[in-house]
């Protein structure tokens, strides 16, 4: 009865190729067994030897052959084929493992993603399309399964990058006795409907943006600090080492017209001053010599509209600019400049400065 407990692994790859394996070293130690199969039914079966053996340390541990029908019978014998060690009949359609989905497309609209693929040949009603996804913040895959060959899911954040992968599954137990699924289609990365090479690109782009902004801020701070230090240095330089005035600016005619000849410049300057003084015309004034009492009487009679100023040294020096003069002046507090003197006028007092 040990023949009935031998375990084999049977896979029908998309109903195209059959692969049957067994534990050769454990079941048949020290013996290299042979394998034969047939898809014929009834008494007249034609057994075919295994075209391609799978080896485990030089021992036959499996066989790979073409799928030729829904009913399969297998037989394992000793090395010379004289004794049958194991035999079994089965339905090859119950061990189908589908191929990967082909021409997978993604359609992203707002927060909904729809994934579809081409319909495979064979019983499509036995197939389901499984979608798995996760964002860079998720540790485990989220799964969604739908009929072949389209599946959709909602709730995707357009600001996040997601990893997607899809595969086809066979229904159990209606179509398969073993839960076989296809291999995963190549993983893809999407963000708001845009295909990316990797979700790391999103992280790198954000980090690059942060680095660029940080560098710009640092440069602006350095420039601002430099300007502040420059202003303070200029102020300190002016306070410690004040600028020496250039005499050319104050005495432009000395250097431009007289080439720095001071004597020539001062002579012409004095002549110009004398000419200016001679050309000066004084305002018409009334010269009077009266006593202080008469001044007070006249001031009372004339009212606050005129004042008489007397300079005692005018006649002696024969200076027309310093003669005894009487001019009409306002009586309020006033400072008047005349002949190089400043005169402070008040209602009752006149001070010459």
In this structure, the answer to whether residues 42 and 70 fall within a common structural domain is yes
**Measured between alpha carbons, how far is residue 5 from residues 40, 75, 86 in Å?**
25, 14, 9
Phi first, then psi, for residue 131 (nearest 5°) are -115, 130
- Band of residue 251 on the pLDDT scale cut at 50, 70, 90: low
Neighbours of 40 (CB within 10 A): 15
In this structure, the answer to whether residues 184 and 115 fall within a common structural domain is: yes
The CATH number for 190's domain is 2.60.40.10
- One domain for residues 116 and 47: no
The 3-state DSSP class for residue 5 equals: helix
What Å distances lie between residue 211 and 28, 62, 159, 318, CA to CA? 65, 58, 20, 89
Q: Which of 123-127, 234-238, 308-312 has the lowest mean pLDDT?
A: 308-312
Q: Do 115 and 86 fall into the same domain?
A: no
State mean pLDDT over 194-198: 86
Q: Which of 56, 80, 97 is the last residue of a domain?
A: 97
Taking only the tens place, the pLDDT of each residue in 90-112 is 999 999 999 999 999 988 888 88
Quick check: is 25 in a domain?
A: yes
254 touches 269 (CB < 8 A): no
- Specify the pLDDT at position 333: 47
Average pLDDT of span 202-230: 76
User: Taking a C-beta distance cutoff of 8 angstroms, is the pair 329, 338 a contact?
Assistant: no
Instruction: Count how many domains the chain has.
Output: 2
**Domain annotation covers residue 276:** no
Least Cα distance to 192 among 271, 268, 260, 109 occurs for 109
Q: Give the number of C-alpha atoms closer than 13 A to the C-alpha of residue 201, restricted to the C-beta side.
A: 12
Average pLDDT (225-240) is 78
CA distance 7 to 10: 10
Does a structural domain hold residue 227?
no
Task: Give the per-residue pLDDT at 315.
Answer: 42
pLDDT of 169 > 90? The answer is yes
- Same domain flag for 86 and 109: no
What is the domain extent for residue 16? 8-97
Q: Looking at the domain assignment, is residue 316 inside a domain?
A: no
The pLDDT tens digits of the residues spanning 294-343 come to 555 555 545 444 444 444 444 444 444 444 444 444 444 444 444 444 44
Is the per-residue pLDDT at 12 higher than 90? yes
Least confident piece of the model among 18-22, 171-175, 198-202: 198-202
14 shares its domain with 91: yes
Q: What is the DSSP string of 139-202?
A: SS-EEEEEETTEEEE----TTS-EEEEEEEEE-TTTT-SS--BPPPPPPEEEETTEEES-HHHH
Q: Same domain for 69 and 20?
A: yes
Are residues 20 and 84 both part of a single domain? yes
DSSP H helical segments within the chain, as ranges? 24-27, 199-240, 247-250, 252-256, 262-278, 292-302, 314-317
CA dihedral of residues 50, 56, 59, 62 (deg, nearest 10): -20
Residue 169 counted as domain residue: yes
pTM of the model: 0.55
Among candidate residues 158, 85, 168, the one with its CA nearest the CA of residue 130 = 168
Closest alpha carbon to 282 in 323, 313, 343, 341: 323
Q: How far is CA 137 from CA 161, 206, 232, in A?
A: 9, 15, 51
Please state, in angstroms and rounded to a whole number, the distance separating the CA atoms of residues 108 and 43. Answer: 58
Write the pLDDT tens digit of every residue in 253-265.
666 676 767 677 7
Distance CA 333, CA 344 (A): 7
Q: Residue 126 domain-assigned?
A: yes
Q: Which of 196, 216, 235 is the last residue in one of the domains?
A: 196
Using alpha carbons, list the distances in angstroms from residue 18 to 9, 45, 121, 254, 291: 10, 18, 17, 117, 151
Residue 76 DSSP class: E
Rounded Cα distance between 270 and 268, Å, is 5
Do 78 and 21 share a structural domain?
yes
44 and 72 share one domain: yes
Whether the per-residue pLDDT at 274 is higher than 50: the answer is no
The predicted structure's pLDDT at residue 180: 92
Q: Is residue 218 part of a domain?
A: no
Looking at the domain assignment, is residue 204 inside a domain? no
Last residue of a domain, one of 65, 81, 97: 97
Give mean pLDDT, residues 170-197.
90
Whether residue 162 sits in one domain with residue 86:
no
For residues 274-294, average pLDDT: 48
114/137 same-domain check: yes
């Amino acid at each position: 009865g040990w023949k009935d407990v031998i375990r084999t692994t049977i896979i029908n790859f998309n109903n195209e190729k059959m692969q049957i394996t067994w534990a050769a070293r454990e079941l048949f130690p020290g013996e290299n067994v042979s394998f034969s199969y047939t898809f014929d039914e009834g008494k007249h079966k034609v057994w075919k030897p295994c075209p391609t053996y799978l080896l485990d340390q030089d021992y036959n541990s499996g066989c790979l052959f073409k799928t030729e029908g829904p009913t399969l019978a297998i037989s394992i014998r000793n090395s010379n084929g004289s004794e049958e060690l194991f035999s079994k009949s089965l339905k090859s359609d119950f061990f189908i493992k589908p191929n990967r989905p082909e021409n997978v497309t993604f359609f992203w609209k707002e927060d909904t993603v729809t994934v579809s693929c081409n319909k495979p040949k064979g019983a499509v009603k036995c197939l389901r399309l499984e979608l798995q996804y996760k964002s860079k913040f998720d540790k485990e895959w989220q799964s969604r399964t739908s009929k072949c060959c389209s599946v959709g899911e909602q709730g995707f954040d357009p600001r996040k990058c997601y990893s997607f992968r899809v595969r086809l599954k066979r229904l159990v137990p209606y179509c398969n006795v073993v839960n076989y699924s296809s291999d995963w289609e190549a993983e893809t990365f999407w963000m708001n409907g845009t295909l990316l090479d990797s979700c790391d690109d999103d992280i790198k782009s954000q980090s690059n943006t942060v680095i660029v902004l940080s560098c710009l801020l640092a440069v602006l701070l350095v420039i601002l600090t430099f300007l502040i230090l420059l202003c303070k240095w200029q102020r300190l330089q002016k306070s410690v080492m004040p600028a020496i005035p250039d005499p050319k600016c104050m005495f432009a005619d000395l250097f431009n017209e007289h080439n720095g000849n001071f004597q020539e410049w001062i002579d012409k300057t004095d002549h110009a001053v004398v000419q200016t003084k001679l050309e000066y015309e004084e305002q018409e004034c009334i010269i009077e010599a009266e006593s202080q009492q008469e001044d007070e009487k006249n001031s009372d009679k004339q009212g606050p509209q005129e004042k008489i100023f007397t300079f005692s040294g005018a006649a002696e020096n024969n200076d027309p600019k310093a003669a005894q003069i009487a001019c009409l002046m306002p009586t309020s507090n006033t400072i008047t400049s005349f002949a190089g003197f400043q005169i402070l006028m008040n209602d009752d007092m006149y001070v010459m400065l």
